[in-house]
Amino acid sequence: MVMMALLLFLAVFGPLGCDPRARTQPIDASAGGGEASGEARGETEATVRAAPPEGPEEADEAPKVRAQVYLVPLKAFPDDLLDAVEDALVREYSVEVIRREPEPLPKAAYYPPRKRYKADRLLDHLDRLAFEWGVPEDAKVLGVTEVDISVTTDEYPDWGIYGYGRTPGQVAVVSSKRLKRKAKDRGHVRFRVATLAVHEIGHTFGLPHCDEHEQRCPMLDAEGGIENTDSSTGKLALGCRARLNRNAPMPK
Ligand SMILES: [Zn+2]
Ligand SMILES: [Zn+2]
């Protein structure tokens, strides 16, 4: 997926090199390759010469991304779910996703009574990894894992959750464990995991839970169940998108 994205990127932006001279060569080459006769050739060349010259500002155009997201499996995470997460984050946030090799789960986050991992300690661990890797301040780190995760709440000492993210912040985590329960098929699991990734990364961009129920926004509170995830469009509604663009505008 990373390679595909890179190839696509090169395909789109490749001809727009920094050197304006590089711009003219591919056009000349393609114009020369398709003609069948001398006449056609003459027309084609005339057309190419008549084309307005490219401005330097266009030649300098670089791909625009809102931020980078480092995607890191904690212990392991299936490829199809990683692809679904990457696709959704690129689509909703215009981010560049950087895939990391899997990292071991930190022992300090393990909660033996329920055999699961404390999400706040996983976030602390992701903070440390971000520091170790030299992740830029405005980039995000999303941990994805198949193990069950939980938080301590006022009411419950150990409350199982789908995901957890700092609001605003740099780190978030999503677990597929509960998202696989009663899923109709694998595509349904992919949708849920991708929607949760959009939700948690939304938190890191400073998006709180919203009230865009009618628009079925992915930033609705899960309210202790999967229904709001399952009925979500998976796409940020207008209110959340406006807030995102205020909090983390696209570069000009
Ligand atoms: Zn949330
Ligand atoms: Zn919303």
> How far away, in angstroms, is 203 Cα from ligand 2 center?
11
Measure 92 CA to ligand 2 centroid, in angstroms: 12
50 CA to centre of ligand 2 in angstroms = 49
Task: State pTM to two decimals.
Answer: 0.77
- Rounded to the nearest whole angstrom, what is the distance from the C-alpha of residue 207 to the centroid of ligand 2? 8
pLDDT of 63 reads 78
Dist. CA 70 → ligand 1 center (Å): 20
Q: Tell me, what's the pLDDT at 26?
A: 36
| Cα 108 to ligand 2 centre (Å) | 34
Residue 61's pLDDT is what? Answer: 72
Distance (angstroms) between ligand 1 centre and the Cα of 226 equals 12
The CATH class that applies to domain 68-247 reads alpha beta
Give me the residue spans of the domains in the chain: 68-247
Q: How far is the CA of 29 from the centre of ligand 2 (A)?
A: 49
| Ligand 2 centroid, distance to 193 Cα (angstroms) | 18
pLDDT at res. 221:
97
- Centre of ligand 2 to C-alpha 206, Å, is 12
Spans in the chain with pLDDT lower than 70: 1-60
Summarize pLDDT for 50-98 with one digit per residue, the tens.
Answer: 555 555 555 567 779 999 999 999 999 999 999 999 999 999 999 999 9
What is the pLDDT, as a whole number, of residue 105?
98
Tell me, in angstroms, the distance from the centre of ligand 2 to residue 41's CA: 55
The pLDDT, as a whole number, for residue 39 is 40
Rg, Å, the chain Cα set: 23
